[in-house]
Structure formats: structure tokens, C-alpha cells
Amino acid sequence: MKVKRNVIILSSFLILIAFIVFINYEHQEKSSETSYIKILDKGEKNGHYWVLAKDPNAFEESKFKITIDNENTWNLIQKNKEYFSTYSYVTKSKKAELENISLPGQLQKDQKAHKNN
């Protein structure tokens, strides 16, 4: 009887710990970063679009994958080109999500046009 009670208490405790870990994993806060990126590769798998990028100005050269939810945007992005982009991520190793992308010169043109309007 005492063993059965201890098993139930231990099982309940383990379920509670698993639930807490799951809740924290699902609700991790995302970071957002704006930087220049160079596109190293791009691909598509089962309707999911991505690019492999690196920040050419970063001290540590690290590649990271950015998911893109719009096929038209993905089609316009070219390998070996630099872009000015904003992307969000929990950790870059778990893929980032593209929020905004433009050619570096286009950003300045857009800002000038906005000021003139």
C-alpha cells in the first residue's frame, strides 16, 4: 500500500515537471534582429521556403536558416546577394522567421520617398 502511494506521488510529480517544461518551451520569448545578411543558399521543402544566411558584419561567422512564409518573397531573393533584413527567433539555431527584407540601396530610397510625402 505504501509503495503504491509513493509511485502515485512520484508519477504526479514527474507529470507536473513535464507540464512545466512543456509550457516554458512553447512560450519562449522571441528576439528580433535587424542586420545585413548575405544569402548563402535557398530551398523549398513541402511548400516551406527557407534561406541560409550569415551576417557579413558579425564578429563570429555563423550561418543560420531563415524561414520565409511567402513564395513570392522567396522567389525574389538571390544567392550571394546582401540584403537588409529583420528576422525574429527564439534561438538562431532553431531557425529564424523573416519579417522584412530589402536591398540595402532600396532602404535609403524608401526613406527619402517617405520624407517627401
Summarize the confidence of residues 109-115 as an average pLDDT. Answer: 55
What are 104's three cell numbers? Answer: 540595402
Rounded Cα–Cα distance for residues 87 and 24 (Å): 22
HSE (side-chain half, CA atoms, 13 Å) at 47: 0
Q: pLDDT by residue (tens digit) across 3-50?
A: 777 777 777 777 777 777 666 655 567 788 899 999 999 999 999 999
Rounded Cα–Cα distance for residues 13 and 95 (Å): 33
**Contact assessment for residue 75 and residue 49, using Cβ atoms and an 8 Å cutoff:** no
Residue 47 amino acid letter: G
**Residue 79: its pLDDT value, please?**
95
Please give the domain boundaries of the chain with CATH numbers for all domains.
32-116 (2.40.50.140)
Q: pLDDT by residue (tens digit) across 41-97?
A: 999 999 999 999 999 888 887 889 999 999 999 999 999 999 999 999 877 666 789
**pTM listed for this prediction:** 0.66
pLDDT higher for 9 or 98?
A: 98
Strand partners, 64: 53
